[in-house]
Structure formats: C-alpha cells, structure tokens
C-alpha cells in the first residue's frame, strides 16, 4: 500500500529523510513540516555582499567512514561537486590543532614523533599511556562517562585535557556527564570486542553500516580529504536538497508549519499546526529535537514524552569576528580550551585558515569564530533569555586578545545565541533510546525517531539517521 508520510522538522535530518523517501515508489505523498521560515536548521551561513561567508553552525564535514561516504554520495546526487571546498591531510588546518592550556597554545601531538616524545601540555609521551592501555582489563559497567572511561584506560591527564576538550569541541558538553557508549561508540565497542581501544582501532571491532562509495567519495579517499565545506557555505547543502525535493512529484515542503499537537488513532495520525490547520498521515518521521517532540505528543504517550524530555541540550553563544590583515600567531584549524582553563570559552576556530575562499574579496582578512557556553552557559552568562549581545561580543574579543595576543579590534562581528542547539547524550542514553523504541514498537505507533537527539550529532550522523528512518519504512533504497 502507498503511504502518506509526514516528516517533522526541516533541518538536515528531515531533508535527508525526504530525499531518501522520495526515491521510493511505495510512498504516495511526503509532507515536510518546518516550523521556521527556512529549512536547514543549524546549517546556517551568513553571506555578505562582498563575498565573505561566516558559518553560524557546522563549518566542516568529515568525508571518512560509512556515514561520511553516505553524505558525499548525496552531495554528488545533488550535483554539488563543483561547489566543494576540500581540505586535504597535508593542509595546515588538518595538521595543526591547538589546545590552550595554562595560558599558552600547544599544538596537539600528531604523527609518530608526537606519540613518542613528551609534548607539552602533557607530562609524558602518549606512547606510555597507549602501551599501558593494552593490558588494562575490560570495564564491567554497561555505560560510563567519557571522562571515567578514558581516565581508567589512558590515564587522568589525557582525560582532563584532551578528552575534556574533545567533548567541548563536538558536544559543547562536559566529559564527566557525557556517555562514552553513546558519544563515542567506536571507543566503547573497541573495549567490548577487543578488550582495548588500541587493539580495537588496529583490528576493527565490528561491522558498521556498509555504504557503496560514489566516484566523489572515492576521490575524497584517494586525495586524502580530512574535511570539506561548500563555496557558499554549509547552508548550500539544505538549499540544494530543498530545490531537488521541490522538483519531485508527491513532495510538499512547508515553511512556517510549526507542529502543535499529534493525535493518533487506528486510521493514522492527525497533525495539528500552530496556524489552526491540520493534516493526516499514515506515518510520522520526527526529526524535531527530542524535547520539541515530547511537547506535541498526545497525553496518552506521556511515558514516551518523559523519556524524550530527559534528553537534555545545551546553549551555545557563537561569535563570528573579522579582522583586518593576517593577525594569527599560529596557523591551524583552531584551538580548544579545557574546562579547567576557562569553562565559558569552548574554543576558537580560525576559519580563514581552512577556508580562505570564504574571505571577502580584496585585501587580507582573518576570520575567527569564538564558541562559548555549552554545558557551562548558565554558570558563565546566566539565563540565555537575559544575556546581552554586547556581553557575548566583549567576552569573545577578550578571549581572542588573551589566547592569541591579538590587540586590534575586529572590523566586523556577528553574535548568535543558539538555544538548545546540541543534544547531550548523558550517561544511560542508550537505555533511554532502547526504552523509547520499545514503547513505539509495543504501542504499534507509526513513528520513527531521527535527527541529532538520538544516534549521533554530526552532520553525517544526522543525514544517515534520515536515510535509516526512510529505509526502515520503505526498505533499502
Ligand atoms: C555551533 C554548532 C557547530 C557544529 N559544528 C559541526 C561540525 O563542524 N560538523 C558537524 O558534522 N556537525 C556540527 N554540528 C552539529 C550539526 O550541525 C547538528 O547536529 C545538525 O545540523 C542537527 O540537524 P537536525 O536536522 O537533527 O536538527 P535541527 O537542525 O535542529 O533541525 C530541526 C528542525 O526542526 C524545526 N522544528 C523545531 N520544532 C518544530 C515544530 N514544533 N514543528 C516544526 N518544526 C520544528 C527547527 O526549526 C529545525 O529546523 C554543529 C552544531 C552546532 C550547533
Ligand atoms: C579547534 C576548534 C574547534 C572548536 C572551538 C569547535 C567547536 C564546536 N564544534 C562543535 C560540533 C562539532 N564539531 C565537529 C568537528 C570538528 N570540530 C573541530 C574543531 C573545533 N570545534 C574539528 C577539527 C572537527 C573535525 C573533526 C576532526 O577531524 O577531528 C563535529 C563533527 C564530529 C564528527 O564526528 O564528524 C561536531 C558535531 C560544537 C557544537 C562546537 C562548539 C559549540
């Protein structure tokens, strides 16, 4: 039987679900409902008239692994190859990433030399921790915080500095609260399968999803790309998806279509919108943030709503800055700041190093993005509803001044307060997911959960979650 499918949320997850559903003959109609005035969600690029591009969300996507290949396959299908800005492994932005510790920038150790020698801020060679890791017995807990896991296996120094920073630079979150099982599944699976992270990395620790690489994905691997962006910014990706979907029969995309209430009975779903209209669907794929879905589910699904609400998210203040000339003392992707150094400032991305193509035309400039807050937002800035833009701008400029010794003032700036932008997979997240999916199955709800709240927050993970949701409904596409 052909189905009418409603996809809730027009972020990259919802668009991906529609893209894959639209290839199936088993779907008669797809309706995408996006609450705001545009699709793309957190993929948002400020494009200035002089050619400069500033990212207010993700700025780079990894090409590797099954999920990375899957995204590149989609990029290829959308005809965006000529728009790509790849960064290869020999680029300084790939080789140089910094940590700001005890008032100084330190290049993160890389390559064999970086592992064999003592490199500050670490007090001994990383190889020592790696060799010890091989003989540490397997943990017995079903889940563990990222910090506890890495402390146990690799020592507290790596956990306190490197892993603390990694969690701030991917989840804007606290490694002591985040779950290793859900945030970094390869680490957890390596210990489970091989008894060691190192052995798991060397020998593999289980079959992940298989994705046949397109010519583009093969090119990325051959040319050793580490990340990619797009000439007119990451927002180009949802724009191209939206354009492609609008050309397909049987696909309806609605902006300003905020879902207010979902009701379900034996005939299917009734979806009520904020503007008072409603529509019917046989199946719902929700890519809304978990808490947003919780607040529109019917009261009868209260158990599910409570589980969804327990998936927290954090606020991030993002400040784009443009300076006249080349002002950086180092060249690289950027630096991350451990929570013990300055909890409120997560790190600074040196955007003009990886993507100089996004600089304004004519004259040298440096573009930086300071990211602040995350799990430390309230303790640093107070309520996100009350904080002043100027406070955020001043704090960002001050961080650039003290971390990078930049004394000049920015010639342009843009402050964005991203409320609840990154879900936090806290300890026990996997159990909550299991319970939610069990509830949906036990109650025969025609509902699929996709998007960043569940199985990975990266652009690649979210795009893959849209594909998995579509395939769960209509079979392999
Ligand atoms: C600052 C920042 C930097 C990042 N950097 C990177 C990076 O470098 N690389 C990377 O891979 N990933 C990065 N990410 C992560 C990635 O961008 C996100 O996880 C991903 O874009 C989330 O997509 P989504 O579709 O799941 O959710 P969203 O983008 O949140 O989309 C959900 C959509 O649902 C809509 N919506 C909400 N409520 C309703 C409702 N009631 N009715 C209808 N619509 C509704 C929203 O308007 C939104 O458009 C970053 C994220 C942030 C915030
Ligand atoms: C070096 C500075 C960086 C800052 C500051 C930073 C902030 C930041 N990042 C996210 C979310 C994600 N970032 C991701 C990838 C990623 N981020 C950085 C650097 C900084 N991030 C790098 C170098 C990379 C590439 C990954 C790599 O090659 O090591 C991702 C995707 C991760 C993936 O699995 O693909 C996300 C998600 C937030 C929310 C944030 C601060 C608010």
pLDDT tens per residue, range 195-212: 999 999 999 887 788 999
Nearest to 397 by CA among 457, 327, 320: 320
**Contact between residue 397 and residue 411 where contact means Cβ atoms under 8 Å apart:** no
Cα 166 to ligand 2 centre (Å): 8
Closest ligand to C-alpha of residue 396 is: 2
360 burial type by CB count under 10 A (0-12 exposed, 13-18 middle, 19+ buried): middle
Mutate to test the pocket of ligand 1, among 45, 56, 57 (most ligand atoms within 8 A of CB): 57
Cα 41 to ligand 1 centre (Å): 5
Q: Give 413's DSSP letter.
A: E
pTM score, whole prediction: 0.97
Cα 350 to ligand 2 centre (Å): 12
**Contact between residue 283 and residue 450 where contact means Cβ atoms under 8 Å apart:** no
Predicted local distance difference test score (pLDDT) of residue 1: 58
Alpha-helical segments (H) within 30-89: 65-77
CA distance 420 to 427: 19
Mutate to test the pocket of ligand 1, among 6, 7, 11, 44 (most ligand atoms within 8 A of CB): 11
Spacing of C-alpha 108 from chain mean position: 22
Please indicate whether residue 354, judged by its CB atom, sits closer than 6 Å to ligand 2.
no
CA distance 88 to 95: 10
Mutate to test the pocket of ligand 2, among 169, 316, 331 (most ligand atoms within 8 A of CB): 169
- Tell me what the pLDDT averaged over the chain comes to: 96
Cα 303 to ligand 2 centre (Å): 34
Cα 169 to ligand 2 centre (Å): 5
3-state secondary structure 143-199: CCEHHHHHHHHHCHHHHHHHHHHHHHHHCCCCCCCEEHHHHCHHHHHHHHHHCCHHH
Predicted local distance difference test score (pLDDT) of residue 16: 98
Cα 26 to ligand 2 centre (Å): 38
Cα 10 to ligand 1 centre (Å): 9
Residues of the chain short of pLDDT 70, as ranges, are 1
Predicted local distance difference test score (pLDDT) of residue 140: 93
Closest ligand to C-alpha of residue 257 is: 1
Cα atoms found within 13 Å of the Cα of residue 473, Cβ hemisphere only: 36
Quote the ipTM score.
0.96
Please indicate whether residue 349, judged by its CB atom, sits closer than 6 Å to ligand 2.
yes
């Amino acid at each position: 039987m052909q189905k009418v499918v409603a996809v809730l949320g027009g972020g990259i997850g919802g668009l991906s679900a529609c893209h894959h559903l639209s290839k199936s003959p088993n779907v008669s109609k797809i309706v995408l409902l996006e609450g705001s005035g545009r699709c793309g969600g957190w993929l948002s690029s400020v494009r200035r008239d002089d050619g400069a591009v500033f990212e207010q969300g993700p700025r780079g996507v990894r090409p590797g692994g099954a999920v990375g290949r899957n995204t590149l396959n989609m990029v290829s299908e959308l005809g965006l190859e000529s728009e790509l800005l790849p960064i290869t492994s020999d680029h300084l932005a790939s080789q140089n990433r910094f940590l700001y510790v005890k008032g100084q920038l330190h290049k993160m150790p890389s390559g064999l030399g970086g592992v064999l020698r003592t490199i500050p801020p670490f007090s001994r060679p990383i190889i020592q921790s790696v060799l010890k890791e091989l003989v540490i017995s397997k943990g017995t807990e079903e889940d563990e915080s990222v910090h506890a896991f890495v402390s146990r296996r690799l020592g507290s120094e790596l956990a306190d500095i490197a892993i603390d920073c990694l969690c701030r630079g991917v989840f804007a979150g606290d490694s002591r609260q985040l779950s290793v099982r859900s945030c970094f599944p390869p680490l957890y699976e390596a210990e489970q399968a091989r008894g060691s992270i190192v052995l798991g990395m060397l020998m593999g620790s289980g079959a992940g999803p298989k994705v046949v690489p397109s010519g583009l994905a093969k090119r990325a691997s051959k040319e050793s790309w580490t990340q990619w962006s797009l000439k007119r910014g990451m927002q180009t990706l949802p724009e191209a998806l939206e354009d492609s979907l609008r050309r397909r029969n049987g696909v309806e995309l609605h902006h300003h279509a905020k879902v207010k209430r979902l009701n379900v009975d034996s005939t299917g779903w009734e979806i009520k919108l904020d503007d008072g209209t409603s529509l019917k669907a046989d199946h719902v794929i929700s890519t809304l943030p978990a808490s947003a879905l919780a607040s529109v589910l019917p009261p009868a699904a209260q158990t599910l709503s409570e589980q969804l609400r327990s998936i927290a998210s954090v606020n991030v203040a993002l400040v784009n800055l443009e300076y006249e000339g080349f002002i950086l003392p180092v060249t690289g992707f950027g630096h991350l700041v451990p929570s013990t150094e300055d909890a409120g400032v997560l790190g600074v991305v040196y955007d003009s190093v990886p993507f100089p193509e996004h600089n304004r035309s004519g004259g040298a400039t440096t573009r930086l993005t300071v990211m602040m807050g995350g799990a430390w937002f309230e303790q640093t800035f107070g309520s996100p509803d009350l904080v002043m833009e100027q406070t955020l701008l001043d704090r960002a400029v001050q961080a650039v001044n003290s971390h990078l010794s930049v004394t000049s003032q920015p010639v342009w700036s843009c402050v964005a307060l991203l409320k609840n932008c990154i879900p936090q997979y806290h300890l026990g997240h996997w159990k909550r997911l299991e319970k939610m999916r069990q509830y949906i199955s036990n109650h025969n709800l025609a509902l699929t959960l996709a998007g960043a709240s569940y199985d990975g927050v990266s652009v690649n993970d979210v795009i893959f979650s849209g594909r998995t949701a579509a395939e769960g409904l209509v079979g392999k596409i």
